[in-house]
Amino acid sequence: MLPASISFESLTPEMVAKTIDHALLKPDMTVDEVIEGCRLCAKYQVASVCVKPCDVFAAAQVLQGTGVDVGTVIGFPHGNSPAQVKVFEAIKALEDGAVELDMVLNIGHLKSGLFGQVRDEIRLLVTAAKEKLPSCCVKVIFECSLLTDEEKAVACRLSEQAGADYVKTSTGFSTGGATLADLKLMRASTDPSKTHVKASGGIRTLDYLIECLQAGADRIGASTTADIIEDMKARKAAVA
């Protein structure tokens, strides 16, 4: 649980770790690298590991009983798969051991003003996933670098109406990552009692992670997890 007032002083290394979804999504990542990354997640006790759909089963095997959740991506990275394909991908991932799903919304449909279709696609996946696993967590990725501020706000409202648990800034594989301005806009455009915010893309340092939390993020997608947490430990030790 994060403190009401977030600062370096109010956080612990354990708190920071539990904000992180450790990303293992590079297209050329080997199975051995995924397994090594999962073991790192267990060591640092992060919130979750986010792997490619093909790696969910292996990650679930490695992380069983560790307290670290397994997540994956749906319709990644462009969001262009038909809704029924995204649902199939989500159900397969849950069957393989995932409990968190980060789905990319249909960016082209959002920019076309097809808001009902965008909302219905998210709702279809959320409904199917939670019927399969009621405790699963669904996050909706916007790819904010491709959207106007108005489109980001609309995407927030549509995701919340559809029952998503999180709205997320980006895939990390497009033209930009998480910005503080986007996080503040997304936090202001959603109900904190219903919808959380995930920052992802370009968060490589402890200082920027803390800034993202202060801007409204609840979760952080990162791949430099060890560097971030070891920096936190070192700096805490230096002021002890």
Tens of pLDDT, residues 217-239? 999 999 999 999 999 999 999 99
Tokens standing for residue 25: 């999504």
The set of catalytic residues is 168, 198
Q: Where are the chain's structural domains?
A: 13-233
13-233 under CATH 3.20.20.70, yes or no: yes
* CA distances (Å), origin 171, targets 46, 48, 112, 178, 238: 19, 16, 20, 9, 35
Q: Is the pTM of this model over 0.85?
A: yes
Residues 178-214 pLDDT 10s: 999 999 999 999 999 999 999 999 999 999 999 999 9
Judge contact between 30 and 56, C-beta under 8 A: no
- State the average pLDDT over residues 151-170: 98
Residue 2: what pLDDT? 85
> Closest Cα partner for 43 from 23, 25, 77, 68?
68
